[in-house]
Structure 1
Amino acid sequence: MWSDLCSGLYSYGFNGWQSIGIMLLHLGVFGGMIYLIIRMLIPKSKREDSAMALLKEQFAKGLISKEEFRERKEVLKN
């Protein structure tokens, strides 16, 4: 089965390891495209809302002070 997948690349002078490398490269490009599509589908406001929720949770647990909460909140707004 594996040789059937790579047989087309052998005709171009690639050996087995080079064929695997090319397939991994294509897999990486395909995975990157899927990642970018998902990033574009999730609105930026939703991602920011989760950051604000995390900030509020840290403040509620007492992990950060009131001043630090305000500073970070201003950073997230900009």
Structure 2
Amino acid sequence: MWSDLCSGIYSYGLNGWQSIGIMLLHLGVFIGIIYLIIRLLILKSKREDSAMALLKKQLAQGLITKEEFRERKEVLKK
């Protein structure tokens, strides 16, 4: 019974190598999606870090006041 169920689910009328190819394709798509999600999260944190570094640099150079720094820092936190 179990073998009949599994053969119905995984049988596309393909031979063994073709079934393995489809399985590897699905695995590759899954790994690719996970990779993109992680990459987007890392890039977002790097952008926020670089924006904060630029803001600190502007404060150090005297281009903005402490109050402007606090306001912009709050905007970046959101």
Normalising by the residue count of structure 2, what TM-score does the alignment of the two structures yield?
A: 0.47
Larger-gyration structure (1/2): 2
Normalising by the residue count of structure 1, what TM-score does the alignment of the two structures yield?
A: 0.47
